[in-house]
Structure 1
Amino acid sequence: MSHKDTGASVGAGMSRRDVLKYSLGTAIGVTLLGMNAQIVMAQGEQVLKVAHPAFDQDWSPLRGGGPPYRWNSAWHAAPMYFDQAGEIHPYICVAWNPNADNTEWTFMVNPDAKFSDGSPITAADIKGSWELSAMPASKNQRISQVLGGVVGYTDVTGGTGTEISGITAPDATTVVVKLAAADPIFFMRVANHIAPIVKVAQARGADGAEVQDWYMPQNGVVVSGPFKPTSIDLDAGKLVFEVNENFFGTKPKLSRIEITSVEDNVTATQLLKSGEFNAHTELVTSTIVADLGKEFADGPLIPTSQHFWFNASRAPMDDPKVRQALIMAVNRDDLFKASFPDGPHVKADQILNSVPGAEDSGFVPFPYDPEAAKKLLAESTYGGPERLPKLLFVGISGPAIEAAAQFIAEQWRQNLGITAVDMKPQQDAYAGPDQNAVQIFRDDVGTRVPDAASYLLGSIASTSGNAQGKLGNYKNDAIDALLAEASALPANDPARVTKAQDAQKLFHDDYMFIPWYSQTMSRWANANVAGMEKNLDWQVAAPWDISIS
């Protein structure tokens, strides 16, 4: 379905994107002439004006990722949620309890929870929302992190069914979930917006799949969160959200949220500095602190880290000595300075961060030793730089990422004599069989729960997407065994942490990545905006608390 603007027509020969860029450029020009742009608000109103980094054509809250995902909490509620300090809070569900062996969990629905049309949010809506998010056609990027351990989950993701047998709703306020194996922290897995709760009668068709464009205002969208969309113009890259008057939680302080697509980082930065916008969806530049101030970029460290991963199934990464040489030839202190000289992120030496066990894991940082790296490359089956195939990076998008990748390539040139290096921005273009053409993937790994075992299960276990894809079907049986043992232990058992730490040490010795940084979840908001703190789920934890002074 095409979404056409009903407003004034654009100039001849100009696309809507061209018109928007022209308008934004004009705004900057006016500012540079000395006129201070201000946030225009009617008396008594507070309007959050957000610059969004892409012209996204899909704003369904069921995708589990992408820039639009950053705003899920504004218009959809979750069963529970984590705040910025990592503390869990009730939301749609007010209680959750396991059975004796942690293989079954019971969730109780808040009897006051209701949708924007005033109808109650029921256990059937939770069950249906989870199943809808697991349907293959929904293309939810991270639903396995939420429901992967539930009995019957693969029937839906595999396309043989539309219902997850392990999820039942015995009455309107009770959801029961049966797991294939004990999971003491399952309650943490559902406390996020990866699979938010939607009105199933509206969002799900008779075939069990998602109804096209159900989330658009012109289709009478019903929401569960504090704000509801009143206008979505995908062609113009403009969305407007206003207060959901039937929200069952705290009344929002904002009157409206306006989201406008601004693709260029430089343009977005200037508009934020001028006051034309006062927040951003995800601004990642090397000079973010210098440009917009420490408070704009500040935030808590979350259990997410960015690294350069080696595809061990692709030459020359099939030789461990080549991998070790490539790692030891990079001065990672300078790598971090080249990409984020003023922060806000923190240099990483390991995968784990911001979870129990990360501080004293026993992980020995990879050393910077150019001479040892040269020796290792000479001892490898390739014998030296002249026999190496071209090294291809993907995921090199954005100024800070480009700066980091170029620094690595220059270190390899200076210290190892490697000159055949190429870089591409998009990872999606190398999915499936073509992925084997890539040796280095830049990407993040992390967890939505504060747990070391879960972090590594999604990063280095052979069952993880990271291991199967970016690491070239990497498998270390000892690592898999340790993480399986750890995940079955109670959340407060110290052995859960130590087994995860031991698994990470084993991964260290396989030389599979160049560590880069541990991620700060920035506010991405000017100093006059309060309540923009985000959680480990990349969501504004309490969007009803956002205010503008």
Structure 2
Amino acid sequence: MTKKQDNSAGKMQVSRRDALKLGLSATIAASVFGGNARIVMAADGQVLKVANPAFNQDWSPLRGGGVPYRWNSIWWAAPMYFDEKGEIHPYVFTSWTPSEGGKVWTFKLDPKATFSDGSKITAKDVQGSWNVSAMPNTKNQRADQVLAKVTGYADVSAGKATEISGIATPDEGTVVVTLSETDPIFFMRVANHIAPITKASQSRGKDGEEVQDWYMPDSKAVYSGPFKLTKIDLDAGKLTFEPNDKFFGPKPKLARIEITSIEDNVTATSLIKSGEFNAHTELITSTIVQDLGKEFSDGPLIPTSQHFWFNTSRAPMDDPKVRQALIMAIDRNGLIKASYPDGPHKKTDQVINSVPGADNSGFEPYPYDPAKAKALLKESKYGGPERLPKLLFVGVSGPAIQAAAQFIAEQWRQNLGITAVDMKPQQDSYAGPDQNAVQIFRDDVGTRVPDAVSYLQGSIASTSSNAQNKMGGYKNAKVDSALAEAATKAADDPKRVALAQEAQKAFREDYAFIPWYAQAMSRWATKSVKGIDKNLDWQVAKPWEISIG
């Protein structure tokens, strides 16, 4: 059943939605309803007009992912937050102190922190927000990235309990968290909007479950961030946010934020070029720089990268010499030029990037050496290209990815004589038993904390989903032991980074991936929009700073 909170569009809601889906301009669609989509200045100030790529029917801030998650920071506060440079800042929490070897963390709340109704944000609200985020029926996609190491989280996430036993609230301004194992960077894990701070009495029912539609204006919801949701019409795909005058942080500069669903990227690009919109949630096209200018897609590099991963258990990738030959036959400078010649993403040689520990001096990139590659392929147990099975890529789903995969295939043809290559867009179709039919997975890896150990634990450690599901059960004892030891070191201990770099070098020698690019977190806003820089968690770091002019 479709939810509807704002009837201002009247009986023509579906027609308006259909008009936008069909690619009609927002000016035409608005004129049908007596609106004026070109206005970006409200009578009382500036308006950010955002094109959203989907008609999302669920805007709960507790989902931990999805398209709506990109805007969590404008209407919800977090314990702490990272800015676009990866530096951590206090927010609802003003201090964080570890004890007992990093197994117990004490967080102090800002006594000035309030909700949009003026009521105080308390430790119980934090506790309740984390508890409801952990409940399996809430379906928070990434709650485990924040809370997995908290004592009692596993019981709640498995449906065996409704309260995380490791979270205590000795007073209204203090939260004490006990972990099941030492984690020196736990404070970094909570510095995001994956499980934002809500008024627990509204978001959580007596049974511990999330209350349906609790965040809607008609539910008299209160908000913790710099803006509050004032209108939502899911049929029309439109949301309106206005400043929260009780926000305990800096006063927002915008008068309003309007988010309107436009599913077609070509239409969205045209509307932005015409000035009818000035921002987008996540616009990804191969010609974005040419269409909207370098500044629109420009942004800081974040600890997320895209690579082509080898299934090391699948022939012919089970032969290290074949893997090495396939990598050395590729001019990776040409690879980035073929896929993102104008950016915003940047070529990378290693897994670690955009975090402390990116080893730009001690790490040796894979060389481009066609002659050596040809010799290695001949030395392999396959003896040459004629006896190789067909090489199957999956995850080749967009123009830039297609360009990259085709470049790789052409390099293999020219330098190694390999012609049997196939490409498929879907990764999910090759889950489970069918996964073994695939030799090359294109996928991203990354971390939501600026930490090299976390980055590698989620990408090349044998326990990672990437190693198990994309790389055919890849395991290197040197990698695992170095990361296990590194994880016990404090965030500022040089040994933490040094051990991560050792793990990465050990992984390099297995020749198990084709490095591609480090990802830039695009502004997705026109040149006139200021202060909309995003952080490593895909959130606008300081939404109160957004302005137009």
RMSD: 2.7
Q: CA 1:263 to 1:393, structure 2 compared with 1: closer, same or farther past 3 Å?
A: farther
Q: CA 1:92 to 1:153, structure 2 compared with 1: closer, same or farther past 3 Å?
A: same
Q: Aligned pair 1:328/2:298, yes or no?
A: no
For 1:101, what is the secondary structure of its paired residue?
helix
**Could you tell me which residue of structure 2 aligns to residue 130 of structure 1?**
130
User: Which digits, 9 at most, give the CA deviation of each residue in 1:44-68, with x for residues without a partner?
Assistant: 3211011222333332222222222
For 2:272, what is the secondary structure of its paired residue?
helix
Alpha-carbon distance in structure 2 between the residues aligned to 1:387 and 1:206: 65
Alpha-carbon distance in structure 2 between the residues aligned to 1:238 and 1:476: 49
For 1:461, what is the secondary structure of its paired residue?
coil
The 5 A counterparts of 1:294-373 are 294-360=294-360, 362-373=362-373
User: Which digits, 9 at most, give the CA deviation of each residue in 1:310-362, with x for residues without a partner?
Assistant: 23344443333332233222221111011111112211000111222214462
**Could you tell me which residue of structure 1 aligns to residue 534 of structure 2?**
534
Q: Aligned pair 1:224/2:262, yes or no?
A: no
Q: Aligned pair 1:60/2:64, yes or no?
A: no
Q: Which amino acid aligns with 1:151?
A: T
Q: 1:533·1:540 contact (CA, 8 Å) conserved in 2?
A: yes
Q: How big is the shift at 1:289? A: 2.4
Question: Which range is displaced more, 524-533 or 291-300?
Answer: 291-300
Q: 2:40·2:49 contact (CA, 8 Å) conserved in 1?
A: no
Alpha-carbon distance in structure 2 between the residues aligned to 1:386 and 1:160: 56
Q: 1:284·1:400 contact (CA, 8 Å) conserved in 2?
A: no
**Could you tell me which residue of structure 1 aligns to residue 477 of structure 2?**
477
User: Which digits, 9 at most, give the CA deviation of each residue in 1:57-96, with x for residues without a partner?
Assistant: 3322222222222111011110011112222211111111
Q: Which amino acid aligns with 2:407?
A: F
**Could you tell me which residue of structure 2 aligns to residue 208 of structure 1?**
208
Q: Aligned pair 1:45/2:45, yes or no?
A: yes
Q: Aligned pair 1:413/2:413, yes or no?
A: yes
Alpha-carbon distance in structure 1 between the residues aligned to 2:470 and 2:137: 23
The 5 A counterparts of 1:12-51 are 17-22=17-22, 24-25=24-25, 27=27, 38-51=38-51
Q: CA 1:441 to 1:159, structure 2 compared with 1: closer, same or farther past 3 Å?
A: farther
Alpha-carbon distance in structure 2 between the residues aligned to 1:521 and 1:210: 31
Alpha-carbon distance in structure 2 between the residues aligned to 1:212 and 1:378: 62
Q: 2:314·2:437 contact (CA, 8 Å) conserved in 1?
A: yes
The 5 A counterparts of 1:230-241 are 230-241=230-241
For 2:42, what is the secondary structure of its paired residue?
coil
**Could you tell me which residue of structure 1 aligns to residue 33 of structure 2?**
none
Q: Aligned pair 1:442/2:439, yes or no?
A: no
Q: CA 1:393 to 1:125, structure 2 compared with 1: closer, same or farther past 3 Å?
A: farther
Q: 2:393·2:442 contact (CA, 8 Å) conserved in 1?
A: yes
The 5 A counterparts of 1:226-265 are 226-265=226-265
Q: 2:25·2:271 contact (CA, 8 Å) conserved in 1?
A: no
Q: CA 1:378 to 1:142, structure 2 compared with 1: closer, same or farther past 3 Å?
A: farther
Q: 2:42·2:255 contact (CA, 8 Å) conserved in 1?
A: no
User: Which digits, 9 at most, give the CA deviation of each residue in 1:151-185, with x for residues without a partner?
Assistant: 22222233322222222222221111112222222
**Could you tell me which residue of structure 2 aligns to residue 113 of structure 1?**
113
**Could you tell me which residue of structure 2 aligns to residue 467 of structure 1?**
467
Q: How big is the shift at 1:381? A: 4.3
Alpha-carbon distance in structure 2 between the residues aligned to 1:264 and 1:397: 16
For 2:102, what is the secondary structure of its paired residue?
coil
Q: 1:47·1:257 contact (CA, 8 Å) conserved in 2?
A: yes
For 1:46, what is the secondary structure of its paired residue?
strand
Alpha-carbon distance in structure 2 between the residues aligned to 1:25 and 1:431: 40
Q: Which amino acid aligns with 2:259?
A: I
**Could you tell me which residue of structure 1 aligns to residue 514 of structure 2?**
514
**Could you tell me which residue of structure 2 aligns to residue 496 of structure 1?**
496
Q: How big is the shift at 1:195? A: 1.6
Which segments of 5 or more consecutive residues in structure 1 lack a partner in the other structure? 31-35
For 2:41, what is the secondary structure of its paired residue?
coil
Q: How big is the shift at 1:249? A: 1.5
Alpha-carbon distance in structure 2 between the residues aligned to 1:77 and 1:145: 18
The 5 A counterparts of 1:141-180 are 141-180=141-180
Alpha-carbon distance in structure 1 between the residues aligned to 2:256 and 2:429: 37
User: Which digits, 9 at most, give the CA deviation of each residue in 1:215-265, with x for residues without a partner?
Assistant: 333333332111122233333332221222322221211111111222333
Q: How big is the shift at 1:186? A: 1.4
Q: Which amino acid aligns with 2:255?
A: S
**Could you tell me which residue of structure 2 aligns to residue 33 of structure 1?**
none
**Could you tell me which residue of structure 1 aligns to residue 272 of structure 2?**
272
Alpha-carbon distance in structure 1 between the residues aligned to 2:160 and 2:131: 13
Q: 1:521·1:535 contact (CA, 8 Å) conserved in 2?
A: yes
Q: Which amino acid aligns with 1:305?
A: S
Question: Which range is displaced more, 304-313 or 527-536?
Answer: 304-313
Alpha-carbon distance in structure 1 between the residues aligned to 2:461 and 2:28: 48
TM-score, scaled relative to structure 1 = 0.91
Q: 2:97·2:107 contact (CA, 8 Å) conserved in 1?
A: yes
Q: How big is the shift at 1:503? A: 0.2
**Could you tell me which residue of structure 2 aligns to residue 288 of structure 1?**
288
Alpha-carbon distance in structure 2 between the residues aligned to 1:371 and 1:99: 56
Aligned length: 542
Q: CA 1:512 to 1:130, structure 2 compared with 1: closer, same or farther past 3 Å?
A: farther
Alpha-carbon distance in structure 2 between the residues aligned to 1:349 and 1:210: 44
Q: How big is the shift at 1:27? A: 4.6
Q: Which amino acid aligns with 1:452?
A: A
Alpha-carbon distance in structure 2 between the residues aligned to 1:29 and 1:206: 44
For 2:468, what is the secondary structure of its paired residue?
helix
Q: CA 1:295 to 1:26, structure 2 compared with 1: closer, same or farther past 3 Å?
A: closer
Q: CA 1:15 to 1:505, structure 2 compared with 1: closer, same or farther past 3 Å?
A: farther
**Could you tell me which residue of structure 1 aligns to residue 456 of structure 2?**
456
Q: CA 1:434 to 1:241, structure 2 compared with 1: closer, same or farther past 3 Å?
A: farther
**% of aligned pairs identical?**
72
Alpha-carbon distance in structure 2 between the residues aligned to 1:172 and 1:544: 26
Alpha-carbon distance in structure 2 between the residues aligned to 1:225 and 1:188: 20
Q: CA 1:390 to 1:139, structure 2 compared with 1: closer, same or farther past 3 Å?
A: farther
Q: Which amino acid aligns with 2:55?
A: F
Alpha-carbon distance in structure 2 between the residues aligned to 1:57 and 1:422: 36
